Amino acid sequence: MMALRADRKHKHVDNTGFGSNSAIEGGRLTNKDGSPNMRKTGVPILERISVYHSLLRMSMWKFGLMIVLFYTAVNLLFASIYLAVGVDQLSGGEPTNSLFDQFMRAFFFSSQTLTTVGYGHVAPTGLLTNFVASTESFLGILAFAVVTGLIYGRFTRPRAYITFSHNMIIAPYKEGRALMIRLATYKNNHLTDAEAIVTAAIHVEENGKMVTKFYPLTLEINKINSLALSWTLVHYLNEDSPMYGYSEKDLRDSKLELIVNIKAFDDHFSNTVQQRTSYTVNELIYGAKFTPMFERSESGGTTILKIDKVNTYERVKLAEELTGSLAANA
């Protein structure tokens, strides 16, 4: 009933891009990295996946591994072709009857041809071998141009480099409570004109079925000039909040999920960057407050921001818990 009452009083939005039918949702709506929690089907995998975007977004170790695997696979393929044509068509090198030695000669000749290094110790002699070598060298030019472009794209792609607290908390605030999330930049970049947009997804019962309602949450401060230190997003749970009067049980029963979007200007890239994340009720700490994560240095000449403390909090009593304790003692 609490969720239905809030739904009548507060205006929800329908342009979030997510459907309102809770019965078809699979877990959270948005992953922690900000990507939609969904999987597309109905078309071939190569048509629904952009290889370029996947290579730009994958982690550095995966990207490096992909390059090594591609390089090795191409050399294995052409080494097999040279071996099938006959290593006697490759002049130079010590003669050998060992199949392994012949394959390794073909493999290293392939790597020299693919990279256009060409030491000259081994060279193709027959027409067919020269044709294969020229094809491989042309493929190498194209492949290294693509890899160079991908490395440049990954290196120059603007990113916000924001770390969020692992948990959202319900903390004492003014005369009541507030929902809080903390964030900070963890690289040596500087973000200005940072703006936060937080949307709450609340599951309510409507006409006998569960639906998802989306509410834009009002923040005490939704825009700051400089994100130099940490920033705590505060949503006051007063009469203007769609979650006004919710107990911890109400919040968990409503399967609350917060979708957080941060947009800022990076003066190093001279470009706008953004980063998203989400929180579910499983990441809610009810009755806590964030502890300070920055302090003055010993010399007093600078401020130390402790990024590893972005999620540190301590348990506290909320107003209703204190009132209940006093009533019980009386």
Give yes or no for a contact between 37 and 257, defined as CB atoms under 8 angstroms apart. Answer: no
Domain of 253, in residue numbers:
2-38+161-329
Check the CA dihedral 112-117-118-124 and report its sign.
Answer: positive
Give yes or no for a contact between 165 and 183, defined as CB atoms under 8 angstroms apart. Answer: yes
Give yes or no for a contact between 247 and 280, defined as CB atoms under 8 angstroms apart. Answer: no
> Within a domain: residue 142?
yes
Give yes or no for a contact between 198 and 231, defined as CB atoms under 8 angstroms apart. Answer: no
Domain identity same for 206 and 324: yes
C-alpha to C-alpha distance for 31 and 20, rounded to whole angstroms? 18
Average pLDDT, the chain: 85
Domain identity same for 121 and 180: no
Domain identity same for 178 and 246: yes
Which domain-ending residue is among 156, 171, 202? 156
Domain identity same for 321 and 174: yes
Percent of the chain with pLDDT over 90: 49
User: What angle (nearest 5°) sits at the alpha carbon of residue 177, between those of residues 172 and 181?
Assistant: 80
Domain identity same for 220 and 106: no
The pLDDT of residue 327:
36
> Within a domain: residue 43?
no
- Distance between start and end Cα atoms, the chain: 31
Does the predicted model carry a pTM greater than 0.85?
A: no
The tokens for 142 are: 């194209």
Domain identity same for 317 and 196: yes
Q: Where do we find the tokens 């597309």?
A: 40
Report residue 20's pLDDT band, with 50, 70 and 90 as the boundaries.
low
List, for residues 114-123, the tens digit of each pLDDT value: 988 877 778 8
Domain identity same for 20 and 72: no
Which domain-ending residue is among 123, 156, 189? 156
Domain identity same for 58 and 201: no
The tokens for 102 are: 């012949």
Which domain-ending residue is among 136, 156, 176? 156
Those residues whose C-beta lies under 8 Å from the C-beta of residue 37, and which sit 6 or more positions away, are: 26, 27, 28, 29, 30, 31
> Within a domain: residue 45?
no
Domain identity same for 86 and 216: no
Beta bridge partners of 232: 182
